[in-house]
């Protein structure tokens, strides 16, 4: 077959507007390694007029370009392309390239749009795929017909296209294989816009990359990485007004990189159930449940399901929810790091951990804006380190605590934190449990004299979660101070000594005549 389409030529990258939205190709279309074919060429016959069913024409172009030895690019010039069923992607080394993406002009109602008329702004350089069949996907990667790489695809790019519909129950781009053996390689989605569907993107490929893409007004999740997915990236995207999670990292996903995105008004901004994720430099506002969650929580009761291991949540900014729900960061997993985040919460805890082991919560800025009876940082886990955090309330709280180490937590080090404001439940509370250590926190630890009564001889003084210095003046016949798992300090009769007792250690005096002492917490 010859003269298969308009060859737009090779050359420099087409100039783009500097704004993320809309993006327009105003120059020549680039050859990405194969021929560039226009779906409006008579051989394929797409109309792009908003009234003609273009499903078969676009499908024919995808199949033809995919059958070429070197693949190529299917180009959608500006227009509104109606779909009545899903497009099926069956070949490697294919790019689907639009002229750009745009959005509703805001002048027509949903009922008018449902008639599939051209009430959405096309504008110069806007390519829109409009799904008219409820429940149908826009693009499906068809595993039953893949001729490439034993059922795996590679070299896929979707660029500068709007995916639109009205209350459609389908998914914009769907690619979720049963296991990693059939996962595709390197699906790239750049500069696209999704709205009016159930889920925008649902993929499980190897190293998918989503960038400069705008997702809004979907009933389900914005982006879902399925269990077979490894090394996924979402970067510089806007994900807003999703009925479920803005970004969902499923259990089994490895090494997700979620960087520099703007999330607004979703159920949860980023739900991470995978392993070794890095969630960094995202701005998240007005979530209905959580800003970032690693495990599905039962709320402040801390009864989660699912978890994330070895994930890092770094340098994100999370602001208050619109109404109800919870907010901030919820950590459930092992070896997690939550560091450098700024959290302005007005509904529940700002940072909460449950059931995890070996977690680090450090150098976060927490500002509670209302009195909800919930804590700034709440820890209910083992072997955690909570250090260098600034925790402040802007109001006088009745029962909230700045930092609370809860009952089932164990072996938690709380060090160098600054708790500011009037916390009705206390600046910090440390539950009686094994192994807690609290040092150098302001204003907790406690500051000053904390002198317990002198017990009967050979009766231990209870351990505390902070270091203590006993300033002991002996009686007439001498005294011995035995530190748990440590030395015994012998104080001669009528002498004075300083006895250091580490956190979580008891001290047992043995004497004939009771000594006197002053004890200072450190």
Question: What's the pLDDT tens digit per position in 288-334?
Answer: 888 898 876 444 444 455 667 788 999 999 987 545 556 688 887 77
**Does residue 153 register a pLDDT over 50?**
yes
Assign 34 a pLDDT band (cuts: 50, 70, 90).
Answer: low
**How far apart, in whole angstroms, are the C-alpha atoms of residue 368 and residue 347?**
8
**Does residue 195 register a pLDDT over 80?**
yes
**Does residue 138 register a pLDDT over 90?**
yes
**Which tens digit of pLDDT belongs to each residue from 80-130?**
999 999 999 988 889 999 987 764 443 433 333 333 333 334 444 588 999
**Which tens digit of pLDDT belongs to each residue from 375-409?**
888 888 888 899 999 998 877 766 778 888 877 77
**Which tens digit of pLDDT belongs to each residue from 69-94?**
888 999 998 889 999 999 999 888 89
Which pLDDT does position 294 carry in this prediction? 81
Question: What tokens does 419 get?
Answer: 């708790």
Which pLDDT does position 234 carry in this prediction? 96
Q: Which of 31-40, 128-137, 497-506 has the lowest mean pLDDT?
A: 31-40
**Does residue 433 register a pLDDT over 50?**
yes
Q: Which residues, listed in sequence order, are joined to residue 517 by a DSSP beta bridge? A: 472
Which pLDDT does position 498 carry in this prediction? 85
- For the chain, give the mean pLDDT: 79
- The half-sphere exposure of 46 on its side-chain side, counting CA atoms within 13 A, is 29
Which pLDDT does position 280 carry in this prediction? 96
Q: What are phi and psi of 63, to 5 degrees?
A: -65, -40
CATH 3.40.50.720 fits 448-521, yes or no: no
Which pLDDT does position 193 carry in this prediction? 92
Question: What tokens does 41 get?
Answer: 């060429």
**Which tens digit of pLDDT belongs to each residue from 254-275?**
999 999 999 988 888 999 988 8
**How far apart, in whole angstroms, are the C-alpha atoms of residue 208 and residue 154?**
10
Which pLDDT does position 510 carry in this prediction? 92
Which pLDDT does position 214 carry in this prediction? 92
Q: What burial class does residue 106 get, using C-beta atoms within 10 Å of its C-beta: 0-12 exposed, 13-18 middle, 19+ buried?
A: exposed
Q: Which of 51-65, 425-439, 474-488 has the lowest mean pLDDT?
A: 425-439
Boundaries of every domain in the chain: 1-212, 448-521
**How far apart, in whole angstroms, are the C-alpha atoms of residue 356 and residue 295?**
11
Which pLDDT does position 109 carry in this prediction? 39
- The half-sphere exposure of 510 on its side-chain side, counting CA atoms within 13 A, is 7
Question: What tokens does 184 get?
Answer: 């595709």
Which pLDDT does position 466 carry in this prediction? 75
End-to-end CA distance of the chain: 84
């Amino acid at each position: 077959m010859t003269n298969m389409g308009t060859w737009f030529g090779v050359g420099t990258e087409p100039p783009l507007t500097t704004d993320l939205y809309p993006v327009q190709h105003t120059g020549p279309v680039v050859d990405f390694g194969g021929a560039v074919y226009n779906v409006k060429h008579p051989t394929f016959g797409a109309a792009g007029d908003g009234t003609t069913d273009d499903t078969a024409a676009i499908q024919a172009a995808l199949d033809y370009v995919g059958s070429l030895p070197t693949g190529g690019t299917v180009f959608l010039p500006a227009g509104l392309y109606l779909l009545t069923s899903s497009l099926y992607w069956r070949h490697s080394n294919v790019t689907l390239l639009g002229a750009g993406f745009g959005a509703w002009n805001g002048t027509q109602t949903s009922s008018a749009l449902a008639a599939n008329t051209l009430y959405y702004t096309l504008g110069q350089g806007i390519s829109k795929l409009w799904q008219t069949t409820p429940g149908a996907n826009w693009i499906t990667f068809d595993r039953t017909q893949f001729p490439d790489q034993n059922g795996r695809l590679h070299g896929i790019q979707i660029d500068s296209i709007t995916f639109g519909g009205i209350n459609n129950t389908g998914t914009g781009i769907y690619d979720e294989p049963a296991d990693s053996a059939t996962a595709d390689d390197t699906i790239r989605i750049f500069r696209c816009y999704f709205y009016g569907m159930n889920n925008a993107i649902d993929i499980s490929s190897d190293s998918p990359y989503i960038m400069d893409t705008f997702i809004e007004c979907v009933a389900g999740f914005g982006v879902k990485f399925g269990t077979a997915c490894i090394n996924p990236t979402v970067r510089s995207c806007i994900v807003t007004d999703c009925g479920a999670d803005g970004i969902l990292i499923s259990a089994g996903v490895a090494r997700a990189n979620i960087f520099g995105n703007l999330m607004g008004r979703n159920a949860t901004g980023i739900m991470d159930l995978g392993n070794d994720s890095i969630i960094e430099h995202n701005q998240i506002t007005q979530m209905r449940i959580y800003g970032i969650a690693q495990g599905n929580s039962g709320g402040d009761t801390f009864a989660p399901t699912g978890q994330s291991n070895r994930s890092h949540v770094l340098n994100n900014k999370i602001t208050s929810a619109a109404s109800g729900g919870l907010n901030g960061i919820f950590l459930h997993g092992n070896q997690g790091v939550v560091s450098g985040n700024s959290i302005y919460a007005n509904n529940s805890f700002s940072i909460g951990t449950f059931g995890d082991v070996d977690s680090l919560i450090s150098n976060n800025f927490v500002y509670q804006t209302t009195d909800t009876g919930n804590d700034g940082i709440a820890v209910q886990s083992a072997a955690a380190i909570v250090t260098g955090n600034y925790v402040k309330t802007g109001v006088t709280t009745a029962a909230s605590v700045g930092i609370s180490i809860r009952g089932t937590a164990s072996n938690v080090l709380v060090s160098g934190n600054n708790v500011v404001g009037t916390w009705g439940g206390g600046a910090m509370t440390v539950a009686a449990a094994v192994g807690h250590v609290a040092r150098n926190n302001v204003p907790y630890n406690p500051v000053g004299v904390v002198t317990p009564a002198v017990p009967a001889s050979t009766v231990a003084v209870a351990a505390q979660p902070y270091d203590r210095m006993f300033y002991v003046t002996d009686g007439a016949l001498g005294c011995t101070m035995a530190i748990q798992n440590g030395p015994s300090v012998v104080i001669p009769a009528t002498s004075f000594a300083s006895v250091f007792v580490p956190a979580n250690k008891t001290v047992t005096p043995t004497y004939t005549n009771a000594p006197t002492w002053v004890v200072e917490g450190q």
